[in-house]
Amino acid sequence: MHRLPILFLLIYLIGSGLLLGQPRNTRSLDSMLQLLRTQKDTPLIYTYRTIFNDYMTDDPETARAYLDTAFTLAAGVKSTNIQARLLNDLAFYYNKTGDYVKAEGLYKKAIDSFAKARNLGMQQVSYNVLGVVQKNRGKLDEALDSYMKSLEFSDILGDTDYYRIPTFLNIGVLLGEMDQLDRSNAYYLKTIAACEEFDEPWGAAIARSNMATNYVVAGRPGEALPIYLEALEYFEAEKYDFESGEQYAHLGEVYMKLGEYAMSESYLKRSIAMGIKTGEQAMQITAGRHLGALCLQTGRPGQALEYLRIALNLADETDNKPEFVRLLKDLGDAHAQNGNYKEAYTFREKHFEQYDSIFQKEKVEQINALEVRFQTAQKEAELALQQEEINTLNEKAKVDELTKSLYAGGMFSFLAVSGGLFFGFRQRMKRNRIQREKQEAVYRQEIEHKKKELASQTLHLVQKNTFLEELQDNLENLRRSPEKFKMEFRRIAMLLRKEKASDKDWETFKTYFAQVHNDFDQKLKTFSPEISEKEIRLAAFLRMNLTTKEIAATMNVLPESILKSKYRLKKKLGLDRDVDLSEFLASI
């Protein structure tokens, strides 16, 4: 059974941002419950969502009660974005409890609402999870379409591969289902590379486990065994129950293929027990199917029928078409061993009918379409980057005729060839830019005089620190020229120390910022009383929509340090992985 990254990251994280196997953080939950007494409006709704996510780990019904309360509170809040997030949460609830039909419908409604709210980030996330649900329902072509749309939104947003990790992983799973093992492993390797780059050991462990599953399908269970054991050691150490349960099922299948039947049965029963504990019916289905196969191999057809019937009923109830089709075949084999050849024929006939419709029909065309569409999405992203370079060259061309002529000659042929592909992508980018500009225009009309002062001060901070960086580079060059060094070095060094030591600009910025965003720092402290002045400064810059590079220049640190600081800030504020930090800060 491949791990389906229903929720992830980082990231952004998928669905409602819950790591399925993560144990409940009692301390965090207690602090959230305390906040219910003091908060109201949007922050209160977000707190109810956080508690919902916490309980979804092992108590979905209690979680649902908190989500229902959040829906009631949201009825009095005019926010399409909040309504969309709650729909997304409800879809996750049905996804987790195995009702894929309701989950699919709710994810589609959430996507429509996110579109109305112009929330491109959550459309990207929701399309990815929708693809997972559609794949579980056997709608492979629709799942491909959803994954491609998720990648398109990543391209529009200019995402790094960090935000593409779930999509890479899901495409790998889909290709594995279609027995395209080499292509599947290629996407898993992309996933592992991105996870290692952005320090996401959970995702890397999942991708390695999925590659091991491909080894099992390819008839190489011996190679898969140490990978599964390593993944299990990590998940058990981190107390990820769901992921540990999946590794139990994987190990049960591998030990069965290696002829170690006692070990196989032990692990498979542990997987079923974990599936019951976490409410994961898909886990119970897969482990039950393997147990049925094990009983057939060890001459226990009666027990095999019992396990397989339970698994088939669960697959039917949850509309898990791929597992349902596999179980039809296994039940046919079990009836044949029991001498019930009429029943065996009936089940095998149903198996072949449905297998053809889910896995075989137009299979090659689907795979080719997947590759073409994904390559097109990558090409569009490259073209967007090229266009940014073109714009930069155009600006330089105004003061440099030589650059202008080189650009005109060198880029014209490129645009002629790729213009067709780029046009549609550029139009989407233009529409999104126009929408953002309209929203900003409304906001500027309300506080224009204060916003201008704040924007001016922000620009000054960025320019000042950019200037200092350039001055430092010049200083290094100056040091290489002894005749100039003696005369200029001491004066420039003193100037740099004086400028970098001064917090006057930050204090001025704080004054303007407080006029535009009342009590911003106090609101942050209601979420985390221990938040530091440096973290408040980071939050303020994010609230001003500065880029990571601009913030790094302003705070005199590397961009990588800002990424880590953002991660720590989200954690300190108690935000779910799927909550966009900038969007959250804009809401308070």
CATH of the domain at 20: 1.25.40.10
Q: What's the confidence (pLDDT) of residue 402?
A: 41
172 and 185 in contact (C-beta within 8 Å)?
A: yes
- Same domain assignment for residues 95 and 141: yes
Q: Which of 148, 183, 218 is the last residue of a domain?
A: 218
Residue type present at position 474: N
- Same domain assignment for residues 200 and 227: no
In a domain, residue 170? The reply is yes
Tokens at residue 229, please? 């054991």
- Same domain assignment for residues 262 and 138: no
Tokens at residue 168, please? 């890479």
Q: Which domain holds residue 227?
A: 221-359
Q: Which of 324, 344, 359 is the last residue of a domain?
A: 359
Nearest partner of 282 among 135, 169, 181, judged by Cα: 135
- Provide the residue-wise pLDDT of the chain in tens; the chain has 588 residues: 443 333 333 333 333 333 333 444 444 566 666 767 677 778 888 888 888 888 887 788 899 999 999 999 888 788 888 999 999 999 999 988 888 899 999 999 999 999 998 898 899 999 999 999 998 888 888 888 899 899 888 888 888 888 889 899 999 988 888 888 898 999 999 999 999 998 889 899 999 999 999 999 999 999 999 999 999 999 999 888 889 999 999 999 999 999 999 999 999 999 999 999 888 888 999 999 999 999 999 999 899 999 999 999 998 888 888 888 889 888 888 888 888 878 877 887 787 777 666 554 444 455 455 445 445 545 554 555 555 555 555 554 454 544 444 333 443 333 333 334 334 444 555 555 566 566 566 555 555 545 545 554 554 555 556 556 656 666 666 666 656 665 566 556 655 554 554 455 566 666 667 666 777 888 888 888 888 888 888 888 888 888 888 788 777 777 888 888 888 888 888 888 778 888 888 887
- Same domain assignment for residues 227 and 174: no
- Same domain assignment for residues 116 and 173: yes
In a domain, residue 586? The reply is no
- Same domain assignment for residues 65 and 107: yes
Tokens 């790729």 -> residue: 418
In a domain, residue 48? The reply is yes
In a domain, residue 3? The reply is yes
Q: What is the pTM of this model?
A: 0.53
- Same domain assignment for residues 84 and 186: yes
Q: What's the confidence (pLDDT) of residue 478?
A: 63
At residue 118, the 3 state secondary structure works out as coil
Spatial separation of the C-alpha atoms in residues 553 and 168, rounded to whole Å: 32
In a domain, residue 500? The reply is no
Spatial separation of the C-alpha atoms in residues 391 and 162, rounded to whole Å: 26
Nearest partner of 54 among 80, 83, 28, judged by Cα: 28
- Same domain assignment for residues 207 and 263: no
- Same domain assignment for residues 204 and 263: no
Q: How many CB atoms lie within 10 A of CB 403?
A: 15
In a domain, residue 13? The reply is yes
- Same domain assignment for residues 161 and 230: no
- Same domain assignment for residues 131 and 25: yes
Q: Which of 336, 359, 382 is the last residue of a domain?
A: 359
- Same domain assignment for residues 210 and 249: no
Count the domains in the chain: 2
Tokens at residue 27, please? 């301390």
Nearest partner of 253 among 288, 280, 277, judged by Cα: 288
Rg (C-alpha) for the chain, rounded Å, is 28
Sign of the CA dihedral with 89 first, then 94, 95, and 100 last: negative
106 and 129 in contact (C-beta within 8 Å)?
A: no
Q: What's the confidence (pLDDT) of residue 88?
A: 93
Q: What's the confidence (pLDDT) of residue 403?
A: 40
Spatial separation of the C-alpha atoms in residues 14 and 6, rounded to whole Å: 6
Nearest partner of 104 among 74, 143, 63, 75, judged by Cα: 143
Spatial separation of the C-alpha atoms in residues 208 and 202, rounded to whole Å: 10
In a domain, residue 453? The reply is no
In a domain, residue 16? The reply is yes
